[in-house]
Structure 1
Amino acid sequence: MMAEKGKRIVVTGGTGLIGSRLSELLAADYQLTVLTRSTHMISNNPSIKYVSWNGESSLASILEGAYGIINLGGENIGSKAWTKQQKEKIINSRLDLAQHLASCLVALKERPQVWIQASATGYYGIDKNQIFDESSPLGTGFLAQVCEAWEGVLQKVEVAGLRKIFIRTGLVLSPAAELWKQLTLTLPFRFAVVAGSGKQKLPWIHIDDELRAIIFLLENQDCQGSFNLVAPRACTMQDLVQTIGLHKPIYFNIHISKMLLGLVLGKEKTRELILVDQEIKPTRLLEAGFKFGCQNIGEGVKRCFI
């Protein structure tokens, strides 16, 4: 059963890599209210309205009458070193926003019918001998802790008729993504930098499929629960670099050791984020009928060069 179009969606994190592109696509069929910390953002699209929010004022008037919530907001996980203070900021930025949204729902007269909550494949932790899908249990580590807390807010919301969706996203492949920029930074010099051995498996997804999947889940009212937003076929870091080499000449690779990465970036961040080694299947998304545009890394990389 498909959702009705033309209704209003509230988006948080709507100015980030995924949120900005998603808002543009949704604006073709919906009215968008995008929460932002900025006080001067104005959209040229009449279907997109930016609303400045200071993190403290009530969101009740904004959520009243909205059809859905897409919560993507939170401190960037990879931009800074994982100091104690930064880890607290990563968790609290997600919890505070999600809890604020949740606290407003109960008092509304016309409540949202669907809440899509961002999460990540870090939920499963790291076990290179395990193939994960949505039925797999919560793992261990900092990212698993973040995902558990993030998802936990919505899990506890008790609002009749609210469809709850948790999107566990992998590494997003996009020319605008930080991962892609780092991988292609040295290409003008005809060499590539590979983190670690290159044998680690990457749970990746092209940004076009990420956006299409979110809209698919929003509009299909039979979809609820957890969904892995990753491509059906995993690849290794070495596979990714070699595939990039089919489009841009790479004469040699420079491998950065785990030890050096740990010294520069910290052991925890290196293990869980930089050298992530996970094989994850999008089982429930495929069962729901979603069709991937980029099923393998060759298709994903090619689209990044178009």
Structure 2
Amino acid sequence: MKNWLASNMKSTLIIGILAFITIAGGVLGYFGLLRDSDGGFTLHTHSTFQPDVVVMGTELEGMYLAQKAKKEGLDVLILETKSRLGGQLIQGEMLYLDGTYDDEGTLLMQGGMKELFQAYTQGSIRTKTDFAHYFHKLIEGIPVEKNIVLEDLRVTGNKVISLAYQDGDGKKRMVKPSYLVDNSDDAALIRKLDVKPLPGLEALYGSKEREYMSGTYMMKFKGVDWDKFQTQFWKMTKIERSHTFGPESYVNSHIAYGFPPIVSAYELHNKNELNLRGLNILNQGNGEIMINALQVYGIDPSRKETIERGMQLAKEEMPFIRDHLRKHMAGFEKLELAGDRHRI
């Protein structure tokens, strides 16, 4: 009898736990609290309202604005046309960060960006998962809707008075924000307004046609012996390092940058549409690295086909870059491509 009771109590407990999970999942789903693909919960709003601030897109810069506005007591809504959050930082895996320093080497970043750079330079934020955790902490408590379709904007004078969209579930929504910010990497809001872009970098190279800055293909590799790489670099005399890697090249336990002689010795297979510049290398641990160096031209961020073509050209170049680095970088002898996880 005792064993029977214990067995039934155990079964009842398991059923109860499963029921609780099911009910909890249903409740969370009803209120729109869903786990995002990169970790963290995002709250999907389920009513039409008049927020003080609407931020279109989830590029990092706009998330600081959204957080600051929330701390000031304003109602904030973040809208994302893509199915995942984080823009170039997380989905583009643009994980090598360039800091701004004064002549004495003091970091000039301020606010939340300073906190990010400090954690980054200390090595506590290195991988995509690390950045995703930081990102979700940054927008905690701010309503987010992703995978939306922007349908209509009503404009009076120079002011957008309403924004109509379809949410990820296909429901029609409308908001009337006091302040609206385009924080997308493909100018989703600006393109909907059909306004003429301001001249500037589009004319950088003097072409009669519209020009764009290059895209960057983030190259991910595995099989690196970072300890060997760092040790061999600093074993050299200053003159040897300068001759082999360039005078401004540098390596520590987290990052490496420079190496112009290595880059200039590489022969591109597509010289017209690609360029390999100085290597910015991020050590992600476990032999994995991310390199920000391969530039792709002819990218119009508002046209998906140009992005896809650029990615294909870069992918075709990757094996040759891998072979070149194997020959010229200590610790890179067993370098391999780290799967199809690259982005522009």
| Superposed pair shares fold, TM > 0.5 | no
Q: More relative contact order in 1 or in 2 (CA 8 Å, sep 6+)? A: 1
TM (normalized to structure 1)?
A: 0.29
